[in-house]
């Protein structure tokens, strides 16, 4: 089936055309960044509502996926803050890992509930003011503190586009939306060192090639002093990722009032080392 109408942000549009080989006759409709991330009816929804295959799905051939993988890998290594390219890389290389994660969720009662209800972590679904009123140390309070300090929101996470299975697409979206929750639980900021440490944890946890790539090549961007800190933090991140239960099997929306310490213990995440990141 020939793709004739594609809607996505301008940078990803240019990349798809240049890397994946869209034919000249294919129109690539560039939309504002926020509009592309929040398709009509999706921003305010608390659940994943498939329209067609799923929101904003872009059918691609095996060759196009291979080219997208190569191009997004190059761009991700060149500029690790190109989150759009990191997202594309995760979608085009992660099918097997997503299948494994879906299987783990299907076999866990809480994970299965998440798959059935398909909740979304969006600002429209979060009672931020209530979280700010929670006691220090609670998950909701520390999550909002993380958002405030690092000036990020869950709405900056790009929607999944290139996964050709609606169930796996939701798993990919769920992983993407709990990424900041992992920062909160691991006590890691969004600077390069913090991102690399989280990628080490996620690489062991998820097996996603994109996470492995970030864990292996991310340290090349670190200064010598931060590389030394990474040498002390990486073993903790790897052990926590290996020993912890699947982090996608936790319905975090029901755990905002739980303490970070008790949630870490339940998941199996070791307390962070006393190292300033």
Whether residue 9 is contained in a domain is answered as no
On the question of pLDDT at 196 being above 60, the answer is: yes
On the question of pLDDT at 147 being above 60, the answer is: yes
Report field, pTM of the whole predicted structure over 0.85:
no
Whether residue 36 is contained in a domain is answered as no
Residue 157 contacts residue 177 (beta carbons within 8 Å): yes
Residue 176 contacts residue 158 (beta carbons within 8 Å): yes
Whether residue 7 is contained in a domain is answered as no
The one-character DSSP state at 124 is G
Whether residue 198 is contained in a domain is answered as yes
On the question of pLDDT at 246 being above 50, the answer is: yes
- The separation between CA 233 and the C-alpha centre of its own chain, rounded to angstroms, equals 21
Range of the domain at 113: 43-267
Count of domains for the chain: 1
Phi/psi of residue 5, each to 5°? -145, 115
**DSSP E strands, the chain:** 5-9, 27-31
Write out the DSSP string of 213-264.
Answer: HHHHHGGGGS-HHHHHHHHHHHHHHHHHHHHSPPGGG--GGG-TTSBHHHHH
- The separation between CA 87 and the C-alpha centre of its own chain, rounded to angstroms, equals 8
Determine what percent of the chain is predicted with pLDDT higher than 90: 64
**Mean pLDDT, the chain, integer:** 84
Q: In this predicted structure, what is the pLDDT of residue 47? A: 52
Residue 268 contacts residue 244 (beta carbons within 8 Å): yes
Whether residue 209 is contained in a domain is answered as yes
Whether residue 35 is contained in a domain is answered as no
Residue in the structure block whose two tokens are 């009123």: 133
The one-character DSSP state at 136 is T
Mean pLDDT, residues 40-64 taken together = 63
User: Helix, strand or coil for residue 193?
Assistant: helix
Residue 269: HSE in the Cβ half-sphere, 13 Å Cα cutoff: 24
Mean pLDDT, residues 75-82 taken together = 75
pLDDT class for 73, splitting at 50, 70, 90?
confident
- Sequence-ordered list of residues with C-beta below 8 angstroms from that of 208, at least 6 positions apart, any chain: 90, 93, 94, 97, 98, 175, 202
Whether residue 224 is contained in a domain is answered as yes
Q: Select the more confidently predicted residue: 76 or 122.
A: 122
Whether residue 238 is contained in a domain is answered as yes
On the question of pLDDT at 103 being above 70, the answer is: yes
How many other C-beta atoms can be found within 10 angstroms of the C-beta atom of residue 61?
11
On the question of pLDDT at 20 being above 80, the answer is: no
Mean pLDDT, residues 106-118 taken together = 98
């Amino acid at each position: 089936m020939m793709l004739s109408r594609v809607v996505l942000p301008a940078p990803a549009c240019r990349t798809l055309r240049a890397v994946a080989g869209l034919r000249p006759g294919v129109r690539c409709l560039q939309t504002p960044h926020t509009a592309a991330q929040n398709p009509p009816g999706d921003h305010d929804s608390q659940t994943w509502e498939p329209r067609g295959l799923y929101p904003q799905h872009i059918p691609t051939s095996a060759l196009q996926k291979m080219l997208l993988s190569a191009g997004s890998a190059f761009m991700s290594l060149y500029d690790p803050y190109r989150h759009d390219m990191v997202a594309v890389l995760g979608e085009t290389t992660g099918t097997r890992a997503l299948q494994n994660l879906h299987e783990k969720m299907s076999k866990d009662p809480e994970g299965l509930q998440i798959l059935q209800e398909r909740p979304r972590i969006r600002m429209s679904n979060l009672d931020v003011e209530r979280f700010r009123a929670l006691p220090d140390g609670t998950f909701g309070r520390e999550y909002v503190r993380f958002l405030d300090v690092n000036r990020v929101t869950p709405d900056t996470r790009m929607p999944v586009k290139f996964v050709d299975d609606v169930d796996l697409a939701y798993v990919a979206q769920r992983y993407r939306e709990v990424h900041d929750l992992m920062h909160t639980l691991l006590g890691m900021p969004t600077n390069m060192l913090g991102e690399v440490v989280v990628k080490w944890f996620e690489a062991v946890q998820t097996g996603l090639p994109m996470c492995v790539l970030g864990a292996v090549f991310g340290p090349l961007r670190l200064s010598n002093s931060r590389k030394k800190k990474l040498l002390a933090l990486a073993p903790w991140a790897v052990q926590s990722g290996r020993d912890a239960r699947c982090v996608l099997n936790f319905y975090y929306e029901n755990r905002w009032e739980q303490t970070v310490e008790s949630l870490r213990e339940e998941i199996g995440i070791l307390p962070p080392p006393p190292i300033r990141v």
